[in-house]
Amino acid sequence: MADLVKFTINGREIEAPAGMLAIEAAKQNGIEIPSFCYYEGYSLQAACRMCLVEVEKMPKMQVACTLPVAAGMVIRTETDQVKLARKSTLEFLLTNHPLDCPVCDKGGECELQDMVFKYGAGESRYVEAKIHVDEQQWSPVVFYDGPRCILCFRCVRACDEGMGVGALGVVNRGAMSLIAPNKGDHLECDECGQCIDICPVGALTSGPYRYLTRPWEMDHIGTICTHCSDGCKTTLGVRNDEIVRGNNRDRSGVNGEFLCVKGRYAFDFNKHAERLQSPMMRVNGKLEEVSWSKALETIANKFGEIRSRGGKFGVIGSNHTTNEENYYLQKFARQGLGTNSIDHHRTGDVVTLVDALSGTTGRLANSADFYERKAVLVIGSDFSVEHPFLAFQARANFRHHEAHIYTVTAEPVREDNYAARSVRVAKGEELGALEGLREALAAEPDLVIVFDDSIKGDKVRSVVEFGQSLGIPVSYCALVDYSNSRGAIDMGLAPEIGPGYHATGQPGMSMNDMLAAADLAALWVVGANPLENAKLAASKAFVVVQDLFLTETAQRADVVLPAASAYEKNGTVTNGRGEVQRLKRASATMGAKTDLEIIGLIAKEMGLAPMMGPWLPETVYAEIRKTVKGYDIPLPLVTIGAQQSTPVNGRVGVESRPDLVRSEHNNLFESGTLGRYSQVLNTVIEGRQSR
Amino acid sequence: MRYNDPSPLETPVLTRRFRLPNSQSIDTYLASDGYKGFERAIGMTQDEIIGEVKTSILRGRGGAGFPTGMKWGFVPRTSPKPKYIVVNADESEPGTCKDRLLMEFDPHQLIEGVLIAGLAVGAQQGYIYIRGEFRYLIGVMDKAIDEAYAKGYLGDNILGRGVKFNLATHSGAGAYECGEESALLESLEGKRGNPRIRPPFPAVAGAYQCPTILNNVETFCAVPSIILNGGKWFADLGSPKNGGTRLFCLSGHVNKPGVYELPMGFNLMRMINEVGGGIRGGKKLKAVVPGGSSCPILKADECDLAMDYDTVAAAKSMLGSGGVVVLDEDTCMVKFALRIMRFYAHESCGWCIPCREGTTWLKKLLTRFHEGQGQRSDIVMIGDLSKNMLGRTFCPLGDAAAMPTIAIVEKFRDEFEAHLDGKPCPYEHINAFSKSGLAA
């Protein structure tokens, strides 16, 4: 931290670190210096000239965005000269701006509107013709309206510096200057839409959102993206119970304003035409729509009958459903159905990592660590593609703190572009490359080691041993695939482990065992698609599936129950770093019920309701707080969403099953079964090419 | 061989070889004291070389007139980074056409100046950034550089004296903005030619963020003579605080337009009447742009002054890059303002708002005004908009557009008023008449 210096702004004495930019120092002290091109975290431009201020002893006005404060400096931000400069800059800006605010998507939340309202002139002196160029579509999600563009170059920097993609640039000169996409007439990039969100005006607009609504007609619901395990907060714009937009302009949540294409656009599966809206039952070999009461009654009768004759149950939970639903499901399975055969698709070896770190605290990396630690070692993962938020954090860490990034991967990855060291190894040989990095890593002040499913079982223990032998503080992260993969294992969706990593000590079938067991009597699948690439051996088994769509598994079911999506329910989910965050209901779909409610209704039908307790997310969460280690977090803190859960302090005490761990390695445009139903993910050119 | 006949009033220093046969060749150059300054500089310390340049009171010939020796002194000599010498040969200021002659007729003088600058700061690599439209000069310079390599004046062990210096040309791509030093460096690095935030200045972080000396062609060309004949000799050629001679590019309505090398402080009226042979067709003088299109215009009665940096600055204009544009009484000043503004609107890089939008607005406004569609309030607005650009733009291009416009509106307001009320331009008639040959 630099020494504090004293200086004045508008006569007020202010203290700030020497060298801090005047615009930042002013902001921190509640003094607004307007600007367009200055954007915290990205390179300085000094291009918009809105932040001109008077500085005593300097002949000309200075731009506050490149002015380091110094002791004794006298800054004035509200003199006549400054006000006139702002007014005239805005007058210049509006000369070629089309002022089509009534039909502009940005109208109502436009920085140019706000600036002109506060600092601009009340009248226009411009009577010449405006420059016009036609609007361009760069991709299904990005449109560019050149005349509206004020050339602040935020989009260029967000794409280049923030995303490491660099798909945007500037063409032409002077007033004819335009932002241009990397492929001449279209974009090929991450399609993340950061450029659209960062645009202060309506120059860059979002394909799916265009002309759908006025911003003030929406409700804004902050919830958690349901796609990958990075667990980004996404603020959904909801109009008439329909989600029309995703962004995170309030910079809340662990991710700040970062969102990838999935977080920003892939909520659209929600209104896909094939969403299930009614329960279905197999009648004469065909699935037919039935009433909820009929479906529930059938399930309850069948489950009751199988339980009483001691038939084999198999229960498969989800990587997408909430902690409450997972907890409730395993409780039902274990206490209601009397089976320990409950599992889910495991995508990363969290169990072994937790065990290997037993006896220590604070060794599991959180989101902030990726931005704050001085070094990050990425093993196996194509980080930018599979974990775009964590990669964004690491990139920002490199940019702002000159952090050293190390990669050990089989294929070239984007991180190579700025990595301190990139090691290429054959797949499966990742562990062997670590020794070669020992000297460099041991010289770092601290380190995050992050690995995908190429490191599992004993290899996890080896990585932890390696990390602990470096003699520096190291935190770890086992990458997992989906929005609540971590929560699923925390809640005990595994035969060998109960909630909070307690060994159950009871026999039970794993997912693979269930599918292979010829004598399985009933298979209950909640929000998963195990039959996508597998066969169910038990041809006579009674199969119940809760899902949004008629997946391969649902097509095999005897009863299918339409489930609500993550955007249609309340609850909590736990991201890949163990940060528990809160889902908030944004919209409703006719006919579907939340998995929690469905499980509750089945329990009620079976007369198990008193044992299960109410199917209210808050009530179930209260029980989780009491029974699951690391989850004793009050809900208001979960809403802020940055609370680290520390699962265990002792050994897990059970053989983990690395053989069951298998990541799907979904890229930016895939999201398991769910991804198939997102129109955006299926229409962007990169999504089509990657299939 | 040169484009215009010399004037007996000239003091040929930089242009002294222009009339020698085959003046571009290294043999001609060597036969006329070529590379003698450099050879002398090899035996001097860095401080001695910079001291000599300081003594010469050589001021930057690109336009700003910053003392060259002082600029060279800013280079941190202990920096572990490589240092670069960059020649600004992006001569694009309307009215200025001297650097092209210096390169075309005496390319080795430039190379020698660069070599001495390299010695002065310990640089081993130089670049000559040549305006894209000067395609033919790239060939001329490349040939001269090849000759210098062949004769051992460039390379890894120059003249066997253990001096290393390599030099290359780099073509601009047609942007006036790239004549601004930081935009030039961006362009040299292969990026879009937008200016950089300063500080840091190029002396500290220039090409590839390394310490860099960046000067105009004419500035470098003066250096060999300074080292050979001494700084004092050069200083004495000019006027106080303005050392040496300068190449004035006399253009416009004079009888003998051309590039003339005259001592600093030469009287402007003498330049027009005696060097330039007076106003064409016996017309009266209306105004003079003293140093390229970005300089505020001088009215005829303001032109009896010494052409050095300080005197012209005292007259609220600038000596600039030496482009003296003479306008006779038949010139429409509204059209002249429009012509200048068209240039700046076309050349504004688009980086900052006031310049990008201001120049384009003024261009449109002046076009409309000149066509007789102006209103009285527009006259005030032209000045107003210019003042709203002045001092608020990212780089000096905005100022360059604003300053002449403000001066023209202030000094020739009557001509603007003559265009009001839908009246046709009063000068169009005269010009059409004279162009048709009927005037005689």
The CA-atom distances, in angstroms, between B261 and each of A513, B7, B148 are 96, 9, 26
What pLDDT score does A73 carry?
Answer: 97
Rounded Cα–Cα distance for residues A281 and A287 (Å): 5
Indicate if the pLDDT at residue B45 is higher than 70: yes
Q: Residues near B287 by Cβ (< 8 Å), separated by ≥ 6?
A: B297, B298, B299, B300, B327, B331, B333, B411, B412
What pLDDT score does B437 carry?
Answer: 46
Cα A195 vs. chain centroid, distance in angstroms?
17
The fold for domain B26-237 equals Rossmann fold (3.40.50)
User: Nearest chain B Cα to A81, which residue?
Assistant: B388
CB-based contact A47 B352, cutoff 8 Å: yes
E-only strand ranges, B258-372: 258-263, 266-267, 285-289, 298-299, 306-307, 323-328
pLDDT digits (tens, 9 = 90+) for B417-433: 999 988 888 888 776 55
Rounded Cα–Cα distance for residues B213 and B257 (Å): 33
DSSP type of residue A359: T
pLDDT digits (tens, 9 = 90+) for A173-213: 999 999 999 999 999 999 999 999 999 999 999 999 999 99
Rg of the Cα atoms in chain B: 22
Q: Which residues of B touch A129 (CB under 8 A)?
A: 364
- At residue A215, the 3 state secondary structure works out as helix
Q: B34: pLDDT confidence band, cut at 50, 70 and 90?
A: very high
E-only strand ranges, B136-180: 155-158, 163-171
CB-based contact A46 B352, cutoff 8 Å: yes
Q: Which residues of A touch B346 (CB under 8 A)?
A: 173-174
Is the bond leading into A617 cis (omega within 30 degrees of zero)? no
Indicate if the pLDDT at residue B436 is higher than 50: no
CB-based contact A49 B394, cutoff 8 Å: yes
Rounded Cα–Cα distance for residues A221 and A242 (Å): 12
Helices of type H across A179-273:
194-198, 261-265
| Nearest neighbour of A177 by CB, restricted to B347, B356, B365 | B356
Find the length of chain A.
691
The residue ranges of every structural domain in chain B are 26-237, 245-328, 333-435
Q: Determine how β-strand B245-252 pairs with β-strand B258-263.
A: antiparallel
Rounded Cα–Cα distance for residues A164 and A42 (Å): 12
Beta-bridge partners for A543: A523
Q: What percent of chain A has pLDDT over 90?
A: 90
Residue among A225, A573, A259, A227 nearest A389 (CA): A259
Q: Which residues of A touch B192 (CB under 8 A)?
A: 169-170
What DSSP element (H or E) covers A281?
strand A280-283
DSSP assignments along A84-139, one per residue: HHHHHHHHHHHHH----GGG-TTTTS-HHHHHHHHHS-SS----SPPP----EE-S
What DSSP element (H or E) covers A178?
strand A178-181
The fold for domain B245-328 equals Ubiquitin-like (UB roll) (3.10.20)
pLDDT digits (tens, 9 = 90+) for A71-123: 999 999 999 999 999 999 999 999 999 999 999 999 999 999 999 999 998 88
Q: What's the ipTM?
A: 0.93
Rounded Cα–Cα distance for residues B208 and B86 (Å): 12
> Poorest-confidence range of A538-542, A651-655, B117-121, B314-318?
A651-655
The CA-atom distances, in angstroms, between A228 and each of A113, A231, A552 are 36, 7, 21
DSSP type of residue B280: G
Find the length of chain B.
440
| Nearest neighbour of A174 by CB, restricted to B197, B356, B385 | B356
CB atoms within 10 A of CB A1: 5
pLDDT digits (tens, 9 = 90+) for A369-424: 999 999 999 999 999 999 999 999 999 999 999 999 999 999 999 999 999 999 99
Q: Which residues of A touch B357 (CB under 8 A)?
A: 92-93, 95-96, 175
Query: One-letter amino acid identity for B80?
Result: P
B356 at the A interface (CB within 8 A)? Answer: yes
pLDDT digits (tens, 9 = 90+) for A346-361: 999 999 999 999 888 8
Provide the whole-model pTM.
0.93
Residue reference for tokens 């500035």: B219
Query: Considering chain A, what is the average pLDDT of its residues?
Result: 94
A279-283 average pLDDT score: 97
| CATH number for region B333-435 | 1.20.1440.230
Rounded Cα–Cα distance for residues A619 and A95 (Å): 58
Q: What is the largest CA-CA distance in chain A?
A: 93
Residue among B273, B390, B378 nearest B326 (CA): B273
Q: Which residues of B touch A50 (CB under 8 A)?
A: 353
Domains observed in chain A: 4-78 (3.10.20.740), 100-271 (3.30.70.20), 280-345+484-663 (3.40.50.740), 350-478 (3.40.228.10)
Q: Residues near A334 by Cβ (< 8 Å), separated by ≥ 6?
A: A340, A342, A498, A504
Distance from CA of B349 to the nearest CA of A (A): 5
CA end-to-end span of chain B: 33
Indicate if the pLDDT at residue A643 is higher than 60: no
Beta-bridge partners for A562: A547
Distance from CA of B42 to the nearest CA of A (A): 41
Rounded Cα–Cα distance for residues A312 and A559 (Å): 18
A131 at the B interface (CB within 8 A)? Answer: yes
Indicate if the pLDDT at residue B434 is higher than 60: no
pLDDT digits (tens, 9 = 90+) for B170-217: 999 999 999 999 999 999 999 999 999 989 999 999 999 999 999 999
